[in-house]
Amino acid sequence: MMMLPDLADFVSSALEIPNGTAVDRAKVLRGAGLLSVGKQGPHGHGARMTNTDAINLLLANILDHKRGASVADNVQRVRDLPSTTGLVEMPHGFTRGLTLFDADTAGDALDGILNDIRTGRLNAWAAGERWNATVTLDTCGARLFVSIGKPDKRNTHDLREAMHAFALPGENERKRLVDRSVTIAGEVFLQLAEALESTA
């Protein structure tokens, strides 16, 4: 099982940031109730990290935090982003079996990626085919996109992909002159799911 120090190590390595930064933001999240807390006392032990814990610490270290802004509030804002377009998929039913695309909020979708990997749903859906997935989010935390596809074409016109968008109300209509975003490859979630299952 993965404990908090292991999760901080993973995040710092994946995002190429100092371990101390990941640890400091983990402490903030834990104080705000956004990370699991273990038993207290001389015989207490640390909490086993959950899918939600892992996603929260990733977000805390990806988002830009303005001076004086609350890291925990910024993470919660992203988690609460509502679906704006619903699921867009080609062909219809392409994502059947994946719970991550049933999500109404960005947080549930991100948790769902790890859940689908850890329960074997993603492997069952892939059925032995190659797949790729990405999560792209504004570093300000206003928009987030989840996409998945099977790049190997079975015929000339074969297009198999899906996308689910989440955003603050009115954000998609707002004109931006500068857009800063981060894209997370699906491999990160595969590695994170494996680490969550491993023994510390």
pLDDT of residue 43: 37
Who contacts 110 (Cβ-Cβ below 8 Å, separation ≥6)? 55, 59, 79, 100, 135, 144, 146
Cβ atoms of 152 and 128 closer than 8 Å: no
Question: What local confidence, expressed as pLDDT, does residue 156 receive?
Answer: 72
Strand order of the β-sheet with 181-185 is 83-90, 161-167, 143-149, 132-138, 181-185
For 89, the 3-state DSSP assignment is strand
Q: For residue 155, what pLDDT is reported? A: 78
Strand partners, 138: 181
Q: For residue 177, give every residue at least 6 positions away whose Cβ sits within 8 Å of its Cβ, in sequence order, or none.
A: none
- Helix 106-118 to helix 71-79 angle (10° resolution) is 80
Question: Do residues 48 and 1 lie in contact, with contact meaning Cβ atoms separated by under 8 Å?
Answer: yes
Q: What 3-state class would DSSP assign to 100? A: helix
Q: Please give the chain's pLDDT, 200 residues, in tens.
A: 899 999 999 999 999 999 999 999 999 999 999 999 876 543 334 789 999 999 999 999 999 988 888 999 999 999 999 999 889 999 999 999 999 999 999 999 999 999 999 999 999 999 999 999 999 999 999 999 999 999 987 777 788 999 999 999 887 777 777 888 999 999 999 999 999 988 44
What pLDDT score does 39 carry?
60
